[in-house]
Amino acid sequence: MNIQQTSLPGVLLIEPQVFGDERGWFLENWNRSNHDQTGLPDHFAQANTSHSRRGVLRGLHYQWPEPQGKLVWVTEGRVFDVAVDIRSDSATFGQWFGTELSAENHRQLWIPEGFAHGFLVLSARATFTYLCTRSYYPEYDASIAWNDPEIGIDWPEQPTELSSKDQQASTLEQVCQTNKENLPQCASC
């Protein structure tokens, strides 16, 4: 397993070891003893899978005050996956990291608690899987605008489909102005 620290402290790009032969391939998506060495949690509360067509953008989502850390990967197709630091007291507040995850490259991204997350489907369709450190609580679900100019994510394509929730999401500045307590802090994640 190859683990790379990204430009955002705590966000990790993980390349699992793939074992292949004429029959196909095998890899471990998660192994507690291996991931313990990385500082990832030793348990997850929920596993999710989404399936989307090209141009669908999901995000930028976060949950507060019950933040979720997420270990994510793609099992079909490819996506551009993004993490944004929304911890209001962080030195990297408002900064983003993005990478392509695909069924071919087998990469995983670890997004710690205190970060917003989103992805854009780049292939005809994509199946996206994530392990979450906490269960989903609809009353704590929130979004940041995918096209927030202050964050300035360089999406490789324009999305063609967004949920109504994502269309109506506030900018990070608007969330801060409304109620900064709606955002995590480094010490609380």
Catalytic residue among 62, 106, 117, 130: 130
Distance from C-alpha of 78 to C-alpha of 41, rounded to nearest angstrom: 26
The tally of domains found in the chain comes to: 1
* Residue 53 contacts residue 124 (beta carbons within 8 Å): yes
Q: Is 140 a catalytic residue?
A: no
Model pTM score = 0.92
Q: What is the pLDDT of residues 118-132, one digit of tens each?
A: 999 999 999 999 999
Asked, for residue 25, whether it belongs to a domain, the answer is no
Asked, for residue 81, whether it belongs to a domain, the answer is yes
Distance from C-alpha of 123 to C-alpha of 5, rounded to nearest angstrom: 26
Catalytic residue among 35, 61, 106, 117: 61
Asked, for residue 22, whether it belongs to a domain, the answer is no
CATH number at residue 171: 2.60.120.10
Q: What is the pLDDT of residues 44-84, one digit of tens each?
A: 999 999 999 999 999 999 999 999 999 999 999 999 999 99
What range defines the domain where residue 99 resides?
A: 2-16+31-188
Asked, for residue 117, whether it belongs to a domain, the answer is yes
pLDDT value, residue 37:
65
Asked, for residue 26, whether it belongs to a domain, the answer is no
